[in-house]
Amino acid sequence: MVYNIFKKHKLNSQHAKISAEALINAELVGAHGHGLSRLKMYCERIKKRLINPKPNIKIKKISSSISHVDADNSIGFVAADISIKTAIKNAKKTGIGLVATKNSNHYGLSGYYAEKAVKKNLVVMIFTNAPPAVAPFGAIKSLFGTNPICFGTPTNYKAPFILDTSISKINRGKIRFAEINNKKLPKGVALDKFGKPTTDAKKALKGVQLPIGDFRGSGLAWMVDILSGVLTGANHGGKVKDPFDDFTGPQNVGHLFFVFKPNLFVKDYNDRIKKNVKLIKKLPKIKNIKEILYPGENKFKRFKINSKKKIKIPKNILKSIKELTFD
């Protein structure tokens, strides 16, 4: 159904497939804020030509390791897919691949693209900026996105190590999901537009999300904005438009993909990473914690479980999918 909806919105078969797979993957790993709850928004932006369904994506070769992707305002999934594949190709050739992407849109989960590199036995870092959600330290107005930092590595275990962490205390997708489903936010993660703490998702979206570690998280968000926005030629400094609320123009999100071979410096990387994980897993645990998990393990487990069973989709989201299919 999702594939057909994208096709109906003029994406070609390949792009519709890439986009549908990314959305369904988000549902399967349990990241509902990056899944079907965004489908209607993507379609609206395509209809209004704020996302280009027929992009002419250009890959400029800077060196055998470095490439620049101009995504021509394609849907973010397609821009990210081409970019990570280019970074992987460069890294396989020279040991290291650096790809900067401009004129892109929201691409969902960074970890999804990191996994593509890890499956090719590569280490990966990915940065992307996002619409204003977090205030720089000292300011009372949002400017930074939740600007995730993403890192992945093969582990020699079943699940890859995929850290995909926003620098805000909570992901914006989770707030969107709470808003749609009338759920409360945890305490201490957001302020309303008057600067007062709130657990109301609607108020939080109009206010400010709080960064992890105060000035530390604010600094990390700033770093991500520079790496993915200033460096790449994309929007930055609070100019990335909110895909849900702002229909005045394309987002021009920027991404940076950095990929390299794990055995550049040591022959036994696989053994070393396995030992590293083992040492940490066998530490004494906090009460009621059964197992120390590495980043990505939970999503991997949820993916396995959800792939084999029916997934519950909230009624309002199911309704929007049906409308998109049959309208």
The smaller minimum CB distance to a copy of itself, of residues 137 and 303, is found at 137
286 binds a copy of itself (CB under 8 A): yes
89 binds a copy of itself (CB under 8 A): no
In this structure, which amino acid lies at residue 200? D
Site for a copy of itself in 135-164 (CB under 8 A): 135-141, 143, 149, 151, 153, 161, 163
59 binds a copy of itself (CB under 8 A): no
Query: Around Cβ 64, how many Cβ atoms within 10 Å?
Result: 12
61 binds a copy of itself (CB under 8 A): no
Residue 37's nearest CA partner among 317, 282, 228 is 317
Q: b/e map of 31-57 (b: 16 or more CB within 10 Å)?
A: bbbbbbbbbbbbbbbbeeebbbbebeb
273 binds a copy of itself (CB under 8 A): yes
Residue 273's nearest CA partner among 95, 123, 84 is 123
Residue 117's nearest CA partner among 148, 94, 144, 85 is 85
Eight-state DSSP code of residue 37: G
Site for a copy of itself in 13-52 (CB under 8 A): none
177 binds a copy of itself (CB under 8 A): no
Least separation, in Å, of the C-beta of 86 and a copy of itself? 13
Residue 17: both structure tokens together: 């497939």
Least separation, in Å, of the C-beta of 153 and a copy of itself? 6
Among 229, 243, 252, 299, binds a copy of itself (CB under 8 A): 229
196 binds a copy of itself (CB under 8 A): no
180 binds a copy of itself (CB under 8 A): no
Asked whether the beta carbons of 114 and 82 are under 8 A apart, the reply is no
Q: How far apart are the first and last CA of the chain?
A: 13
Least separation, in Å, of the C-beta of 289 and a copy of itself? 4
Residues near 232 by Cβ (< 8 Å), separated by ≥ 6?
A: 68, 100, 101, 102, 254, 255, 256
Beta bridge pairs of residue 260: 96, 123
The smaller minimum CB distance to a copy of itself, of residues 54 and 141, is found at 141
Least separation, in Å, of the C-beta of 62 and a copy of itself? 6
269 binds a copy of itself (CB under 8 A): yes
194 binds a copy of itself (CB under 8 A): no
Least separation, in Å, of the C-beta of 92 and a copy of itself? 13
Among 6, 107, 257, 294, binds a copy of itself (CB under 8 A): 294
Least separation, in Å, of the C-beta of 202 and a copy of itself? 22
66's enclosing H/E stretch is: strand 66-70
Site for a copy of itself in 101-130 (CB under 8 A): 102, 123
Residue 95 CB-density burial (10 A; 0-12 exposed, 13-18 middle, 19+ buried): middle
Among 284, 308, 309, 326, binds a copy of itself (CB under 8 A): 284
Site for a copy of itself in 245-264 (CB under 8 A): 258, 260, 262, 264
